[in-house]
Amino acid sequence: MLTEYIQKALELAVYKILDDGTWFAEIPGFQGIWANGKNVEDCRRELMEVLEEWLILKIRDHDTVPVLEGTELKIEKVEAG
């Protein structure tokens, strides 16, 4: 589920090349999620890492994350039996 969510989020990413020749990317609807890299692949890798870390913090803090094309991350507490 997490991998599917991350892939859907990355499909929404907007990339642009900056004046210095590096690449910048962000994901609309995900505040604070952006990356910069010397090429588009480095930028995408960095964006994925930032997104993963952001999601871990959101999950840890029980914060909501955007629903993407019907894909929703929900963490349910399971009682040990």
What size, in residues, is the chain? 81
Is residue 35 included in any domain, yes or no? Answer: yes
Q: How many structural domains compose the chain? A: 1
Cα dihedral: 61, 63, 68, 74 (round 10): 70
Q: Per-residue confidence at 71, pLDDT binned at 50, 70, 90?
A: confident
- H-helix or E-strand containing 52? helix 40-60
Closest CA to 29 of 5, 46, 60, 45: 5
User: pTM of the predicted model, to two decimals?
Assistant: 0.86
Predicted confidence (pLDDT) per residue in 7-56, tens digit: 999 999 999 999 999 999 999 999 999 999 999 999 999 999 999 999 99
Is residue 7 included in any domain, yes or no? Answer: yes
Look up the CATH number of the domain holding residue 44: 3.30.160.250
Is residue 78 included in any domain, yes or no? Answer: no
